[in-house]
A and B are shown apart, each in its own frame.
Chain A
Amino acid sequence: MKNKGKDRTESRRDFLKNTAILSAGAMAVSGLVSSCGDQPAESGEKVALLTASGELVEVDPSQIKKVRKEKLGELQERGREGLAGHHWVMVIDLSKCKNARKCMAACQGAHELRPYQHHINVLQMQDTPSTAPYYMPKPCYHCDNPPCTKVCPVNATFKRQDGIVLIDNERCIGCRFCVAACPYSARMFQWFEPDYTEEQKNRVYDVELNVPQKRGTITKCLFSADRLRKGQLPYCVSACPNGVYWFGDKLEDAVTNGTSKETRKFSELIKENAGYTYFEDLGTKPQVYYLPPKNRTFDYEPVDKFLKEEQPSTHHESSTH
């Protein structure tokens, strides 16, 4: 598509700077919260804990619960509120995607997903028999009129002020109505107990990372809300080697490319390249835009559309299928 240097002279507001203040604030908050929240509560009178400064202390187990609860509540609250003054948007350039799948790997790593769970899924598409096939990364579209949040009976999935659609898996009842309602197949359910050690399982749940994953609840793309809070680009966006992803703020009309770190005007990028969203007739108002798969100079190599097995080999549970 465009050569890299062309837009350098444009208003080059570094995406990272935009949220620097927020990041400082976030660090202050996490500093206040004691690190002992990450320890499993054991039965017995006292529990030995290693503090952040390296000291070994003994505390009452009930104390730990309290801190855990406070920390969880805090994460839930700020997770629901979102980052004021932003409206996050993603642009995916289909002409650049070579099916490297680095985004999928980074995402699965960060969110501790199984091989068949994809917050972002690179699909092999072919619109008509006579047009060329292409690769299409598909995250959650963080719709501005999301059918998924509307149907949730307990407000476990919600849209926050910065446009991100999140899930609170401490509240989700696992009815899967949202899965049925999402037309873009963006949502997954944790059918099994995630493969965690006891310690991993007992970590305080972070709404913005959706970790630890919880059995019987929902998981999906979060636009890396935890990274945005720290002023960083989403996991997938940073991982892409081919410059497919642009991510930024609609209110600022600026998006930054995850590979080249180049920043451009969002509206111009969309206009120049005839950007579009999927199935606008559904009225969902997706916040993920696509640039058409034009002028590609690399070969399209189809790969297997299905995975071999459902369970990772290390996993000890098996379905009774």
Chain B
Amino acid sequence: MSSAPLHSDLSDSTSYEKIREDLIRPLHKNTFGNQVWIRFLIILILLGAFAYGHQLIKGLGVTAMRDYSAWGLYISNFVFWVAVSLIGSLISSILKLLNQNWSTPITRISELIAVGAITMAAASIVIDMGRPDRVLNIPLHGRLQSPIIWDFFIVNTYLVISLILLYLPLIPDIAILRDRMTNAPKWQKKIYELLSIGWQGTQSQWKLLKRAILVMIILILPVAFSIHTVTSWLFAVTPRAGWHSTIFGPYFVSGAFVAGASAVVIAMYVFRKRQNLQAYLTDKHFNKMNLLLILTMLLYAYFNINEYLVAGYTWQRLDGKHLQELFLGHEAPLFWLTQILGLVLPIILLLFRPMRKPLPSMIIAIFVLIGAWIKRFLIVIPVQFNPQFPIQNVPEHFTHYIPTYTEIVVTLATLATAILIITLLVRIFPVVPIWEVAHEKGFHKIFKAEK
């Protein structure tokens, strides 16, 4: 284990009991604010369900999508959710394999985000289908040549692995909760009882668990890279200027880490505030996480330059038209705002240490995350209005795309669902892994002694 104590705010005399109680305490109280928050999310989801019902009855015509923008907000959302979900693998897997132990207290946050996001990615795809009633045709008549089939299988695989990777490190914590949360409601105790699957912390159990976790963090890596690469191929395999690009895979993957890392910074801030975890999610963690964010953003900027400069230099027929639209045309304000406020400025600001403190970095992360989302929109939509032949003999509004209320409400509902999933999970499970933090502080023996 690491020798230098990273949790500087935890003095060396901090006992294991204190850590345990600090991390369990938030689970005891169902605050008024929390209840209101959950109800608010549920209302959003119900509104979204209503809007989706409207779409089911009337057809996809209630969206602003038409024949020259056959993919719209829903597909951008899909790409965005896949992107955000990738953070689970970056933090739990890559950082762990690199022995970056500072990330221990935020692994669970990143895994929670991964599970929430990948679930909504899957939902977004079904929401976008013209015939959701035929979703079973995918396994029934699936054609291996189609990238959608690859995506279908890889999204499901990633969902399963993410759930496992969230669950495995939770087992010892759940066992602690099972033994400590004696005054919890019955159903909650039942959940602890069931999910701790008889964990007693014996030597052999520990060995098994650690091995299983290691297998999963290695396994998730290729799956995580595949999922976003394949998602980029949904665009790259079509002969369309602006999509048909050989660097789309790494371009998307690097962009995904930006989106996910900024989501983690925001979540860290929220949990630190709401659960009083200042001693566990410290300035140091924010500092490191933001350094990581800078790194991913620099990488993403590099791919951005590649993507736009090469096409812009040759300015071929359709590439040129597409870039003209993006750089100087209709989409220009959105494009430049996104690139500057969502990428360039955050990189510059985060280079200054005070900006990597919790509050400022959280505000910056919000800009980065919104920028990441708009960027997906700008990748998906404008390209479609730039086909080989001119758009004619259709109503004029077919030549642009502004999402309808139905689409916006459904989109907000998926966001609310992802947040609700996370909110509900942290209602009953500790958001900072108890045993992993304790291990890192050197409390191995206590665990073996316990039971």
**B68 contact set on A, CB distance < 8 A:** 185
**B425 contact set on A, CB distance < 8 A:** none
**A104 contact set on B, CB distance < 8 A:** 393
Q: Which of A123, A171, A185, A215 contacts B141 (CB 8 A)?
A: A171
- Chain B residue nearest to A138 in the complex (CB): B389
Does more than half of chain A's interface fall in helix, strand or loop, or is it mixed?
loop
**A173 contact set on B, CB distance < 8 A:** 129-131, 134-135, 137-138
A22 within 8 Å of B by Cβ?
no
Nearest CB of chain A from residue B246's CB, rounded to whole Å: 16
Q: Given A173-B131, A175-B148, decide whether A191 and B59 contact each other with a Cβ distance below 8 A.
A: yes
- Chain A residue nearest to B384 in the complex (CB): A180
Q: Which chain A residues in 78-135 approach chain B with CB under 8 Å?
A: 104, 116-118, 121-125
B211 within 8 Å of A by Cβ?
no
**B59 contact set on A, CB distance < 8 A:** 190-193, 215-216
Q: Which of A122, A154, A278 contacts B143 (CB 8 A)?
A: A154
**A154 contact set on B, CB distance < 8 A:** 134, 137-138, 140-143, 146
**B235 contact set on A, CB distance < 8 A:** 180
Q: Mark A39-67, 1 if CB is under 8 A from B, else 0.
A: 00000000000000000000000000000
Q: Which chain B residues in 371-407 approach chain A with CB under 8 Å?
A: 384, 387-398, 404-406
Range of interface residues on chain B? Answer: 35 or more
CA distance A121 to B405 in the complex (A): 31
**B392 contact set on A, CB distance < 8 A:** 121, 123-124, 305-306
Q: Mark A186-210, 1 if CB is under 8 A from B, else 0.
A: 0111111100000000000000000
**A244 contact set on B, CB distance < 8 A:** none
B223 within 8 Å of A by Cβ?
no
B70 within 8 Å of A by Cβ?
yes
Q: Given A173-B129, A320-B406, decide whether A185 and B134 contact each other with a Cβ distance below 8 A.
A: no
| Beta-carbon contact of B146 and A177 below 8 Å | yes
Q: Given A173-B138, A309-B395, decide whether A153 and B60 contact each other with a Cβ distance below 8 A.
A: no
B419 within 8 Å of A by Cβ?
no
CA distance A22 to B137 in the complex (A): 32
- Chain A residue nearest to B135 in the complex (CB): A173
- Chain A residue nearest to B392 in the complex (CB): A305
| Beta-carbon contact of A185 and B58 below 8 Å | no
CA distance A27 to B395 in the complex (A): 41
| Beta-carbon contact of A184 and B70 below 8 Å | no
Q: Which of B64, B152, B391, B398 contacts A153 (CB 8 A)?
A: B152
- Chain B residue nearest to A192 in the complex (CB): B61
CA distance A185 to B131 in the complex (A): 21
Q: Which of A181, A193, A216 contacts B238 (CB 8 A)?
A: A181
Which segment of A144-152, A224-232, A252-260 sits at the interface? A144-152
A319 within 8 Å of B by Cβ?
yes
| Beta-carbon contact of A185 and B61 below 8 Å | no
| Beta-carbon contact of B394 and A307 below 8 Å | yes
- Chain A residue nearest to B238 in the complex (CB): A181
CA distance A138 to B393 in the complex (A): 12
Nearest CB of chain A from residue B398's CB, rounded to whole Å: 7
CA distance A156 to B149 in the complex (A): 13
| Beta-carbon contact of A307 and B71 below 8 Å | no
A1 within 8 Å of B by Cβ?
no
CA distance A283 to B22 in the complex (A): 64
Q: Given A181-B237, A189-B67, decide whether A321 and B130 contact each other with a Cβ distance below 8 A.
A: no
| Beta-carbon contact of B389 and A176 below 8 Å | no
A217 within 8 Å of B by Cβ?
yes
**A189 contact set on B, CB distance < 8 A:** 60, 67, 70, 130
**B145 contact set on A, CB distance < 8 A:** 150-151
Nearest CB of chain A from residue B97's CB, rounded to whole Å: 34
| Beta-carbon contact of B389 and A153 below 8 Å | no
**B58 contact set on A, CB distance < 8 A:** 192-193, 317
- Chain B residue nearest to A194 in the complex (CB): B59
B332 within 8 Å of A by Cβ?
no
| Beta-carbon contact of B395 and A191 below 8 Å | no
| Beta-carbon contact of A172 and B130 below 8 Å | yes
**B134 contact set on A, CB distance < 8 A:** 154, 171-174
**A118 contact set on B, CB distance < 8 A:** 393-394
Q: Which chain B residues in 212-240 approach chain A with CB under 8 Å?
A: 234-235, 237-240
Q: Which of B66, B141, B394 has the most CB of A within 10 A?
A: B394
Nearest CB of chain A from residue B377's CB, rounded to whole Å: 15
Nearest CB of chain A from residue B198's CB, rounded to whole Å: 42
B123 within 8 Å of A by Cβ?
no
B320 within 8 Å of A by Cβ?
no
A179 within 8 Å of B by Cβ?
yes
| Beta-carbon contact of A153 and B131 below 8 Å | no
Nearest CB of chain A from residue B76's CB, rounded to whole Å: 13
Q: Which chain A residues in 209-267 approach chain B with CB under 8 Å?
A: 215-217
Q: Which of B59, B63, B149, B392 has the most CB of A within 10 A?
A: B392
A287 within 8 Å of B by Cβ?
no
B283 within 8 Å of A by Cβ?
no
- Chain A residue nearest to B150 in the complex (CB): A153
CA distance A306 to B234 in the complex (A): 30
A310 within 8 Å of B by Cβ?
yes
A273 within 8 Å of B by Cβ?
no
A34 within 8 Å of B by Cβ?
no
Nearest CB of chain B from residue A254's CB, rounded to whole Å: 29
**A172 contact set on B, CB distance < 8 A:** 130-131, 134
A279 within 8 Å of B by Cβ?
yes
| Beta-carbon contact of B398 and A174 below 8 Å | no
**A183 contact set on B, CB distance < 8 A:** 238-240, 387-388
A-B contacts besides A173-B131, A282-B239, 17 pairs, CB < 8 Å: A150-B237, A151-B145, A153-B148, A154-B134, A175-B129, A176-B130, A180-B234, A181-B237, A185-B388, A190-B59, A192-B61, A215-B59, A217-B131, A306-B393, A317-B58, A319-B61, A320-B62
Closest 7 CB pairs of A and B: A174-B130, A216-B130, A191-B61, A153-B148, A179-B70, A192-B61, A153-B146
Could you list 24 examples of A-B contacts with CB < 8 Å?
Answer: A123-B392, A123-B393, A138-B389, A154-B134, A156-B141, A171-B134, A173-B130, A176-B130, A177-B148, A180-B384, A181-B240, A184-B388, A185-B391, A187-B67, A191-B61, A191-B66, A192-B58, A192-B61, A217-B130, A282-B239, A305-B392, A306-B396, A319-B61, A319-B64
